[in-house]
Amino acid sequence: MNVWIVLTACIALEIVATSLLKASEGFSRPWLGMASMVCYSGCFWLLSAVLTRLPVGVAYAVWSGVGIVGITLVGVFLFRQSLTLMQMGFIALILIGAVGLQLSTRTADMA
Amino acid symbol at 97: G
Per DSSP, the residues of 7-61 read: HHHHHHHHHHHHHHHHHTTTTTSHHHHHHHHHHHHHHHHHHHHHTTTS-HHHHHH
At residue 82, the pLDDT reads 96
More confident residue, 28 or 99: 28
Question: CB 66: neighbour CB atoms within 10 A?
Answer: 22
End-to-end CA distance of the chain: 6
Whether the Cβ atoms of residue 26 and residue 45 lie closer than 8 Å to each other: no
At residue 102, the pLDDT reads 82
Quick check: 108 pLDDT over 70? no
Q: What is the pLDDT of residues 26-81, one digit of tens each?
A: 999 999 999 999 999 999 999 999 999 999 989 999 999 999 999 999 999 999 99
Q: What pTM did the predictor assign?
A: 0.87
At residue 36, the pLDDT reads 98
At residue 111, the pLDDT reads 46
Please give the average per-residue pLDDT across 12-16, as a whole number: 98
Q: What is the CA radius of gyration of the chain?
A: 15
Quick check: 89 pLDDT over 90? yes
